[in-house]
Chain A
Amino acid sequence: MSEIQDRADTEGEATTGMSTPGNTTGSPDAKGGSDKAGARASADASTGVLAASRPGVLSRLSSRTAQRSPAAVSWIRQAALLPVLVVILIVGATKSDAFFTVNNLVSGVGQQVSALGITVVGESLILLIGGMDLSLEATYGLAPMVAAWLIVPTMAFGSGALLNPYLGILILLAIGAVVGLVNGLLIVKARLNGFIVTLGMTVLLAGVQNGIVHGQSPYELPSAFSYLGSAFVGQVPVSLLVAGAVFAVTGLFLRYHRVGRSIYAIGGNPEAARAAGIKVDRVKIGVYVAGSMLAAVGGLIEAGKVSSVTVQQGYQEGIIFSVFAAAVIGGVSLRGGRGGMFGAASGVVLLGLVQNIIDLAQVSNYWQLAISGAVILFALALARVVGGEASAD
């Protein structure tokens, strides 16, 4: 068995190294490569396989020479936006002297994108299991609205309940969890179409958000409630630290936790995951719950940033468009099972930078939407060129 282990290891290295096409052909100038190939052949012979080694050679040839090594593909898919980001940074620097400053990029853009970013993590998880959730934007508005409404006094358009702000945050999380649970049950257990379920949920939640405050926007949020969205550690906004932590923890969870891996398995092939004993329904519902809770946290940060929960927050702003755009240009597949947190984060950063440049360049308000839409389409096209066939479906 140790022989086989060696074989797997050397091949693994050769794959990640991927710079020596010689070891597929066994040409003499590929040092060591031919040795490995020889060892491999003898390993095959020792297990007594005759015909089976041939398809292996074929698949090695096609995967190395035709395009990139398989192990590199998912990385490329995620990193496809990096060159685009470099271009945007250069463009930004030429447009404004204020662009390349810590004050702008960390304090400004950093705070701008963190609420969106945390919501994108939620949506990415849901996309990875092969689902979709339009109602995240409404949860993003409703959850902080209900919490704020319970916390602030009546003269600031609260309910008068004057709830403890920490309790309010718990309620905010609970609202996220309940919305996610209802979505998950309707989609997974009742087998309703996810698009329609979450579309209906969006309108319902947005209506409640508007209804409980009669169209007013609660303000004077207590500092405990707005801390996440407004506080700074030096020049670094706390919201950016939180968003970074959420991305990092989720990324590690997806990569190294068995539930995280089962998310990829479910998105890649739910029937195969089920046959392998994965509790598909439970994981899916859990992901809907987690996604909605993350959207609620995103909403909390957004509310803290402006120290108010507006009726527009979420649904009326239409942030779901940015959420999907960031995830998809970051390489998260709408078909499920592909993509990761690094890509999603780069998608969020890209959207933030584009908005920042548009702001700095003092583009007319009337044209801002058109420009950001065009940039997103451009980024998507470019990401596909860089990342290859599979990177933008």
Chain B
Amino acid sequence: MTPTTATAVEAVGIHKSFGPTHALRGIDLALEPGRCLGLVGRNGAGKSTLVSILSGLLQADAGEVRFGGEPAPPAGAVHAWRERIATVHQHSMVVPDLTVAENVFLGRLQQRGGPPGWRPVSWRAVRAEARRTLADWGLDIDAGAPCRKLTIEQRQLVEIARAVASGTRCLLLDEPTAALEHDAVERLFERVKQLTASGVAVLYISHHLEEVFDICDDVAVLRDGELVLSSPTAQLNRERLVAAMVGPLPVREIDESLSRLDLSGARAQQGADHLLEIADLAARSTHGALRGVSLRVAAGEQVGVVGLISSGVVTLGRIVAGADRAESGTVTLAGRQLPNGRPDAALHAGVGYIPEDRRAEGFVGPLSIAENVTMTVTDRLAKAGRGVLVPRALERAAAPLAGALSVAAASLRQPVAELSGGNQQKVTVARALIRDPKLVVAITPTRGVDVASKELLLGALRAAAERGAGVLLATDDLDDIEHCDRVVVLVRGRVAAEFPRDPRAPAPFDRELLIAATEGLDTQQQQEQTQAQQSPSQSQPPSQSQYRNDADRKDGRA
């Protein structure tokens, strides 16, 4: 560690609001040269906003960012910011068709002499410089290769090389390991340690708490826009860190009356045959890879599948709904195997699909509410097999569900594009439920939806389960799973843990345990305690509940 006195980056009293949402409430944060600071917090805690402000993409409402004691350049002065701080994003920001060398010097290619504005790029110098930078950091990457040919890991290294080549002394790593395999993560850590050893200040943002303990010297915890904990990592244990992230349980008024409802009727059916059987599902996907997931859902059962965004929960839901293809493994619904990657076949087999991204897949903006809601049942509404649809019949068919979900609109003829986000989501949910599906696949169904609508949407899922449908609820929001009968945690594409509902506890699922499990901490011990208290019938064998044990690591390397 280089002995330096000045802080590399300092944020003082940062406030930021988006409309009524107060995203950051007076954040003070300091990055010391040669140290790695871990920034953790749950979704919506304000991490992304803070990163955007620290990298100059957003202007804070109040407060100041200082670099080495000097005030930061104005927001938007991209080049000035890049000289002071560089960001490596979760998703690769290299230009795939350019060479490694050009990517390393993107935006600041060395030029030869000539009149200002007409200086030609000196490719020889660019290549030589890039080669030197790569060699300095021991990166075994061909500077002349197009980035398209690199692995995700190598592309990330190119981004880091770009950052250090710009001469910055501050590096922001935004969930850099989300797309990496275990051994690649370890190699990345070596690089980060190399960087800090040379005096660079690193801000490391991650959902994986064990990584924070591995690599960060200090930890800062954000919760609801406030810095609730800041301490050297050595003085912390996992329990304290998770507790700081979760905070006290949120008070939820609307929900209380709902949670008192007796759901024993629904659960009585659980012993019945398995409605949905997922066996050894594996897939590569931009939504997160799956590495052999098996899961069962009974009729009338609500199963929550939770995990981080990249953990594969979304992919699992998409494959069951036919939106993505599996590489291996099977999905069987009511005894019949679903064809791979066929949303129409899944629909007709009885799958109702609530997609993750409603704008991309949930509705057709220019078409009316009635048409969107009835889109999955046109075959039933069409007259006498001739395919004729009468607009009034569509409205009549859509009205009950639109009413039950209280879609707020001028009329059912209003284009869905004109509705608010929450109402668009209700249309998407109605579209999935109107066919009376045997299985509802809901992916992050309440994302970006206000509290009241949230309860309505979750209530609609519960109602479907009470009618005997199975519900597969894939989400990264722990509030969504409160009505679930069982929760399965995915970590990096594998089932890491499973929690049955605890009917006696005030909260049906232990949030701390769940969060610890989603963050990939070793939950075996804690889970065994849970199992001892509860019915053991639905639990996974312990070998599967353990994540990142030694055997697993060897698998990752092999």
Instruction: Give A contacts to B, CB under 8 Å.
Output: 1, 3-5, 7-8, 11-12, 14-15, 43-44, 47, 49-60, 62-64, 69-71, 73-74, 255-259, 261-262, 264-265, 268-269, 271-279, 337-338
Q: Contact at B420–A7, with CB atoms within 8 Å?
A: no
Q: Contact at B390–A256, with CB atoms within 8 Å?
A: yes
Considering the chains assembled together, what is the distance between the CA atoms of A63 and B408 in angstroms?
Answer: 13
Is B360 in contact with chain A by the CB < 8 A criterion?
yes
- 18 A-B residue pairs with Cβ-Cβ distance under 8 Å, sorted by A, are A3-B403, A15-B411, A52-B406, A52-B423, A52-B456, A59-B408, A71-B414, A257-B382, A258-B378, A258-B388, A261-B367, A261-B378, A268-B365, A272-B362, A276-B431, A277-B344, A277-B347, A337-B364
Q: Which residues of A contact B346 (CB under 8 A)?
A: 277
Is B321 in contact with chain A by the CB < 8 A criterion?
yes
From B360, B415, B456, contact of A70 by CB (8 A): B415
Considering the chains assembled together, what is the distance between the CA atoms of A22 and B443 in angstroms?
Answer: 41
Considering the chains assembled together, what is the distance between the CA atoms of A348 and B348 in angstroms?
Answer: 41
Considering the chains assembled together, what is the distance between the CA atoms of A11 and B408 in angstroms?
Answer: 11
From A54, A62, A275, contact of B323 by CB (8 A): A275
Q: Contact at A55–B323, with CB atoms within 8 Å?
A: no
**Interface core residue of B365, B400, B410 (most chain A CB under 10 Å):** B410
Q: Which residues of B contact A11 (CB under 8 A)?
A: 410-412
Considering the chains assembled together, what is the distance between the CA atoms of A377 and B484 in angstroms?
Answer: 60
Considering the chains assembled together, what is the distance between the CA atoms of A12 and B431 in angstroms?
Answer: 20
Q: Contact at B399–A1, with CB atoms within 8 Å?
A: yes
Check A276/B414 contact, CB under 8 A, given A8-B399, A55-B422, A256-B389.
no
**Chain A contact residues: over half helix, strand or loop, or mixed?**
helix
Beyond the given pairs A58-B420, A274-B361, A337-B364, 13 more chain A to chain B contacts, judged by CB atoms under 8 angstroms and listed by A's residue number, are A1-B403, A4-B402, A5-B396, A44-B408, A52-B456, A56-B410, A57-B408, A70-B413, A71-B414, A257-B382, A264-B367, A268-B365, A268-B367
Q: Which residues of A contact B406 (CB under 8 A)?
A: 44, 47, 49, 52-53
Considering the chains assembled together, what is the distance between the CA atoms of A56 and B412 in angstroms?
Answer: 12
Q: Contact at B387–A257, with CB atoms within 8 Å?
A: yes
Q: Which residues of A contact B348 (CB under 8 A)?
A: 277
Q: Contact at B404–A275, with CB atoms within 8 Å?
A: no
Q: Which residues of A contact B418 (CB under 8 A)?
A: 59, 62-63, 70
Q: What distance in Å separates the Cβ of A30 from its nearest Cβ neighbour in chain B?
A: 15
Q: Contact at B364–A269, with CB atoms within 8 Å?
A: yes
Q: Which residues of B contact A271 (CB under 8 A)?
A: 360-361
Q: Contact at B452–A12, with CB atoms within 8 Å?
A: no
Q: Contact at A275–B361, with CB atoms within 8 Å?
A: yes
From B363, B409, B414, B452, contact of A272 by CB (8 A): B363
Q: Contact at A276–B367, with CB atoms within 8 Å?
A: no
Q: Which residues of B contact A262 (CB under 8 A)?
A: 378
Considering the chains assembled together, what is the distance between the CA atoms of A55 and B425 in angstroms?
Answer: 13
Q: Contact at A276–B413, with CB atoms within 8 Å?
A: no
Q: Contact at B410–A70, with CB atoms within 8 Å?
A: yes
Question: Chain A: which residue is nearest B321 at the CB level?
Answer: A275
Q: Which residues of B contact A337 (CB under 8 A)?
A: 364, 366-367
Is B371 in contact with chain A by the CB < 8 A criterion?
yes
Considering the chains assembled together, what is the distance between the CA atoms of A261 and B379 in angstroms?
Answer: 12
Question: Chain B: which residue is nearest A277 at the CB level?
Answer: B347
Q: Which residues of B contact A258 (CB under 8 A)?
A: 378-379, 381-382, 387-389
Considering the chains assembled together, what is the distance between the CA atoms of A264 and B395 in angstroms?
Answer: 17
Q: Contact at A4–B403, with CB atoms within 8 Å?
A: yes
From B344, B347, B363, B422, contact of A269 by CB (8 A): B363
Q: Contact at B403–A261, with CB atoms within 8 Å?
A: no
Question: Chain A: which residue is nearest B370 at the CB level?
Answer: A8
From B344, B366, B382, B408, contact of A279 by CB (8 A): B344
Contact string against A for B residues 444-462, beta-carbon threshold 8 Å, 1 for contact and 0 otherwise: 0000001111001000000
Q: Contact at A49–B456, with CB atoms within 8 Å?
A: yes
Question: Chain B: which residue is nearest A15 at the CB level?
Answer: B411
Considering the chains assembled together, what is the distance between the CA atoms of A165 and B65 in angstroms?
Answer: 82
Check A59/B410 contact, CB under 8 A, given A4-B403, A5-B396, A259-B387.
yes
Check A8/B450 contact, CB under 8 A, given A275-B343, A277-B348.
no
Q: Which residues of A contact B343 (CB under 8 A)?
A: 274-277
Q: Which residues of A contact B456 (CB under 8 A)?
A: 49, 52
Question: Chain B: which residue is nearest A338 at the CB level?
Answer: B366
Q: Which residues of A contact B347 (CB under 8 A)?
A: 276-277
Is B353 in contact with chain A by the CB < 8 A criterion?
yes
Interface positions, chain B 326-366, Cβ under 8 Å from A, are 343-344, 346-348, 353, 355, 360-366
Check A275/B362 contact, CB under 8 A, given A52-B452, A264-B367.
yes
Is B315 in contact with chain A by the CB < 8 A criterion?
no
Q: What distance in Å separates the Cβ of B77 from its nearest Cβ neighbour in chain A?
A: 34
Check A257/B389 contact, CB under 8 A, given A4-B399, A277-B347.
yes
Considering the chains assembled together, what is the distance between the CA atoms of A264 and B415 in angstroms?
Answer: 13
Considering the chains assembled together, what is the distance between the CA atoms of A5 and B408 in angstroms?
Answer: 14
Check A261/B410 contact, CB under 8 A, given A52-B453, A63-B418.
no
Q: Which residues of A contact B371 (CB under 8 A)?
A: 261, 264-265
Is B545 in contact with chain A by the CB < 8 A criterion?
no
Q: What distance in Å separates the Cβ of B434 from its nearest Cβ neighbour in chain A?
A: 10
Is B376 in contact with chain A by the CB < 8 A criterion?
yes
Question: Chain A: which residue is nearest B388 at the CB level?
Answer: A256
Q: Contact at A273–B399, with CB atoms within 8 Å?
A: no
Considering the chains assembled together, what is the distance between the CA atoms of A265 and B367 in angstroms?
Answer: 7
Q: Which residues of A contact B390 (CB under 8 A)?
A: 256
Q: Which residues of A contact B396 (CB under 8 A)?
A: 5
Q: Which residues of B contact A62 (CB under 8 A)?
A: 418
Q: Contact at B375–A47, with CB atoms within 8 Å?
A: no
From A8, A59, A257, contact of B388 by CB (8 A): A257
Check A63/B389 contact, CB under 8 A, given A8-B395, A276-B431.
no
Contact string against A for B residues 164-188, beta-carbon threshold 8 Å, 1 for contact and 0 otherwise: 0000000000000000000000000
7 A-B pairs with least C-beta separation: A56-B408, A4-B403, A277-B347, A268-B364, A258-B378, A11-B411, A276-B375
